[in-house]
Chain A
Amino acid sequence: AQTVTQSQPEMSVQEAETVTLSCTYDTSENNYYLFWYKQPPSRQMILVIRQEAYKQQNATENRFSVNFQKAAKSFSLKISDSQLGDTAMYFCAFMKPGTASKLTFGTGTRLQVTL
């Protein structure tokens, strides 16, 4: 079974600074998908960024980028120029290959962006 570990329960960053959230996972699969989801206090889970394991290039979405280290089974999220609206729970998630598989989530990191 796949497992996802987020070792940072809480993090804080000042507005406009950069923060990195860590995620490691365990799997015997060679191809899979990795995700970062954001869950603001309103509870709506929103996709932040997605990475296919067969792609070596790290995914980037505006201020959000990942550092995907397949051999180390590490998938960290970097948020640049942090904004107050980035305050939320961030979940790392894993998906096995195959159509519409389930997501396996980590326990989340609570990020607080301060003035």
Chain B
Amino acid sequence: EAGVVQSPRYKIIEKKQPVAFWCNPISGHNTLYWYRQNLGQGPELLIRYENEEAVDDSQLPKDRFSAERLKGVDSTLKIQPAELGDSAVYLCASSPPAGGWETQYFGPGTRLLVL
């Protein structure tokens, strides 16, 4: 079974540029999470989806960040415009609807560097 897939793995951009990250969760997992992991820190939740509905986006900086999960499968996280402080690893995770829902499976992450 394929794990959570993320792309790109690395991205270097200049500040004020837009950037987008893509995530494909494990097949059958209806819950999808985006976390941001700053250097030397644990991940922090940005947004959580149940199918195509964003059920927790309280930590998402909505002035510059946006996310979507069309059709309740793949998801895209966008930053526009990027700031120096956005440099971090962006992790996507997914969990199944039942039978182990409490376990989140993480992708390899996208490492973003804003210059």
Chain B proximity mask over A40-83: 1 for CB below 8 Å, otherwise 0: 00111111001000000000000000000000000000000000
Q: Which residue of A35, A43, A102 is within 8 Å of B56 (Cβ)?
A: A102
Known: A45-B91, A50-B102, A95-B102. A103 touches B45 (CB 8 A): yes
A102 cross-chain contacts in B, Cβ below 8 A: 33, 45, 48, 56
- Asked if B108 and A42 make an inter-chain contact with CB atoms under 8 angstroms apart, the answer reads yes
Given A43-B108, A44-B107, the answer on whether A105 and B42 have CB atoms closer than 8 Å is: yes
With A43-B89, A45-B91, A45-B106: A105-B44 Cβ-Cβ less than 8 Å = yes
Bound complex: CA A12 to CA B35 (Å)? 28
Inter-chain CA distance A66–B82, complex, in Å, is 41
Q: How large is the interface on A (under 10, 10 to 19, 20 to 34, 35 or more residues)?
A: 20 to 34
Asked if A100 contacts B31 (CB within 8 A), the reply is yes
A107 CA / B39 CA spacing, docked (Å): 10
Beyond A44-B106, A44-B108, A50-B103, whether A100 also contacts B44 by CB under 8 A is no
- A106-B42 in contact given A100-B50, A100-B95 (Cβ < 8 Å): yes
**Chain B residues within 8 Å of chain A by Cβ, number:** 27
In the complex, A35→B104 CA distance in Å? 10
**A64 nearest CB across to chain B (Å):** 15
Query: Is the C-beta of B25 less than 8 angstroms from some C-beta in chain A?
Result: no
Question: B109 near A43 (CB under 8 angstroms)?
Answer: yes
A33 contacts across to B, CB distance below 8 A: 102
Q: Mark B17-41, 1 if CB is under 8 A from A, else 0.
A: 0000000000000010101000011
Given A50-B103, A100-B101, A102-B56, does the pair A107, B42 have CB atoms closer than 8 Å?
A: yes
Report 15 cross-chain contacts, Cβ distance below 8 Å, ordered by A residue: A37-B106, A42-B108, A44-B107, A45-B43, A45-B93, A47-B103, A91-B42, A93-B42, A100-B50, A102-B48, A103-B45, A105-B42, A105-B44, A107-B40, A108-B41
8 closest A-B pairs by beta carbon, nearest first, are A105-B42, A45-B106, A102-B45, A100-B31, A43-B109, A44-B108, A91-B42, A33-B102
